[in-house]
């Protein structure tokens, strides 16, 4: 039975939602995490590094929410700061240099709305992520795991292939934000969720995403996602760098 839009929002935000760190550990081997943007800081809301996918070296980048309150505060509930986007850019450029495919896992309600984030150029950091992501000369797969809101999510979701997990949402702004702007009432989330057309089914129909990934809840569903990623990396690796960039261009041009 299909969920309503609001039920999908709730499921996407569920405490039981698979964590990016678990996805990385269970799908890849030899994961080595790297830190820092080489300019100012290390943003713990972004986890990134290199690993092997079925023997192939890849760069993995994902937003990481906390598993408890303390960790959530440290990681800003997966809301990324400019330093996090700059770390992601650095790892993407590194992947390009060593011709490694890039896989991103997105679970963020948006970029972190803080004072330092503004002072440190949140807009500029996302803008540069988009430039780098759109022109990346290696295969790039983006998987939306839970929430994906606004430019803060898009910065990590300009893949050649964009997938969403069954219980995930993708929208221009959060349902709460939408409700408070449209009706000056952030509690009308249910209607907002409907209006925003944020479910994987609708976004698949609209061509915004390419596939819905069965929810990762156990070993076999993890293995399923792993198999999907292996096959997709193999498929994308058949294209030249120029072909990849051209196809990505076409993919986003049609929007």
Report the interface residues with another protein, using CB under 8 A: 111-115, 117-124, 126-128, 130-131, 133-135, 150-151, 154-155, 158, 170-173, 177-178, 181-182, 195-198, 203, 206, 208, 248-249, 252-253, 255
Q: Are 216 and 168 in contact (CB under 8 A)?
A: no
Q: Closer to another protein at the Cβ: 17 or 248?
A: 248
Q: Closer to another protein at the Cβ: 231 or 241?
A: 241
Q: How far is the CB of 230 from another protein (least distance, A)?
A: 26
Q: How far is the CB of 50 from another protein (least distance, A)?
A: 25
Q: Closer to another protein at the Cβ: 118 or 243?
A: 118
Q: How far apart are the C-alpha atoms of 130 and 29, rounded to whole Å?
A: 28
Q: How far is the CB of 54 from another protein (least distance, A)?
A: 29
Q: How far is the CB of 185 from another protein (least distance, A)?
A: 15
Q: Closer to another protein at the Cβ: 66 or 121?
A: 121
Q: Spell out the residues 6+ positions from residue 224 whose beta carbon is closer than 8 angstroms to its own.
A: 213, 214, 216
Q: How far is the CB of 243 from another protein (least distance, A)?
A: 15
Q: Closer to another protein at the Cβ: 130 or 216?
A: 130
User: 84, exposed or middle or buried, with CB in 10 Å at 0-12, 13-18, 19+?
Assistant: buried
Other C-beta atoms within 10 Å of 180: how many?
17
Q: Are 4 and 85 in contact (CB under 8 A)?
A: no
Q: How far apart are the C-alpha atoms of 39 and 126, rounded to whole Å?
A: 16
Q: How far apart are the C-alpha atoms of 230 and 223, rounded to whole Å?
A: 10
């Amino acid at each position: 039975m299909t969920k309503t839009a609001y039920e999908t929002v709730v499921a996407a935000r569920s405490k039981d939602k698979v964590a990016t760190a678990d996805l990385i550990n269970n799908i890849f081997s030899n994961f080595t995490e790297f830190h820092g943007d080489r300019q100012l800081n290390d943003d713990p809301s972004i986890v990134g590094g290199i690993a092997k996918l079925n023997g192939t070296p890849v760069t993995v980048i994902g937003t990481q929410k906390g598993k408890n309150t303390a960790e959530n505060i440290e990681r800003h509930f997966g809301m990324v700061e400019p330093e996090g986007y700059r770390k992601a850019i650095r790892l993407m450029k590194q992947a390009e240099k060593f011709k490694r495919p890039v896989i991103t896992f997105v679970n963020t309600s948006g970029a972190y709305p803080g004072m330092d984030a503004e002072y440190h150029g949140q807009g500029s950091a996302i803008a540069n992520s988009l430039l780098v992501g759109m022109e990346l000369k290696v295969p790039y797969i983006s998987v939306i795991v839970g929430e994906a809101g606004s430019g803060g999510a898009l910065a990590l979701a300009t893949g050649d292939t964009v997938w969403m997990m069954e219980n995930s949402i993708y929208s221009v702004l959060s349902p709460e934000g939408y409700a408070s702007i449209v009706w000056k009432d952030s509690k009308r989330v249910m209607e907002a969720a409907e209006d925003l057309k944020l479910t994987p089914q609708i976004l698949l129909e609209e061509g915004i995403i390419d596939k819905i990934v069965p929810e990762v809840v156990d070993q076999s569903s993890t293995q399923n996602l792993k198999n999907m990623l292996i096959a997709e990396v193999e498929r994308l690796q058949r294209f030249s760098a120029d072909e990849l960039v051209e196809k990505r261009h076409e993919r986003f041009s049609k929007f």
